Amino acid sequence: MTYFYDRLEEIKKHGSIDFLKIRFGLGEIILKLVDTSDETVSLLYNLRKKYRKMFATDFEMTEDKTRNWIKNLILGNTGRILFMIYFDNKKIGCIGNGGYDEKNNSSRLDNMMKDPLCNLSGAMTIVEKVYLKWMFDDLKLSKITGFLFSDNSRMINIHKKCGWITVDVVPIKKIFTEEETRWEEITTKPNNENVERYFNKIELTRENIMKNFDDIKYRLLV
């Protein structure tokens, strides 16, 4: 086991308590480990439905499936973690990471979503910057990776503010199975007329996040 896995296990042992506090205006944004409460399950279920076109997989969603996903694929997975984002004691979104690559000492940012009813302008940019810096500082990573649809302009703009660099743009195709539909990279040379969408593969180094890190006040509590 590497330090990355050990640190995630340590964080999960503390449960859903205040983990990171970020100064935001006159208030604070707080990150806590995801829980399986009805409130959390309902929020994540509705966010997943709201943004389903921006995920690489799509399937029939239910709140029971969402709860099982939290239990088994997040809390029960040694290589993944997810935090709920709170403002004024209200859950407004989530952010997480996983997919550790030991060869490159890297992890992938994922599941970054905000409740569309939350009107805190700029909140997710600040949360992402702090979360990415935490990944470098606390998880001792050399690089952070990610991918998103090339037509997801809103998230691309947020990522650019944090220093991400697009390292590749790849054509993708939709695969249909009985359980789900998913987007996969086209490995053979495609006919561009038949390409429906593209993935942006993105990377971030410590140097680039620090170039874009403003004087944001935050505290790590665990």
Alpha-carbon span 99 to 79, nearest angstrom: 6
pLDDT exceeds 80 at position 194: no
Per-residue pLDDT of 64-76, as tens digits, reads 999 999 999 999 9
Q: CA torsion angle for 113, 118, 123, 125 (degrees, to 10)?
A: 40
Q: How confident is the model at residue 192 (pLDDT cuts 50, 70, 90)?
A: low
Q: At what angle do helices 123-138 and 153-162 cross, to 10 degrees?
A: 50
Three-state DSSP state, 217: coil
Q: Which two tokens stand for residue 79?
A: 């290589």
Residues 6+ apart with CB under 8 A from 91: 39, 40, 43, 84, 85, 115
**Stretch among 13-17, 111-115, 155-159, 184-188 having the lowest mean pLDDT:** 184-188
pLDDT exceeds 90 at position 174: yes
Alpha-carbon span 76 to 83, nearest angstrom: 14
Q: How confident is the model at residue 78 (pLDDT cuts 50, 70, 90)?
A: very high
Residue 123: φ, ψ to 5°: -65, -45
* Contact in structure between 181 and 119 (CB atoms under 8 Å): no
Mean pLDDT for 118-141 is 96
pTM for this model (two decimals): 0.94
Domain locations in the chain?
A: 3-220
Q: Which two tokens stand for residue 33?
A: 């480990």
Give the homologous superfamily in CATH for domain 3-220.
Answer: Gcn5-related N-acetyltransferase (GNAT) (3.40.630.30)
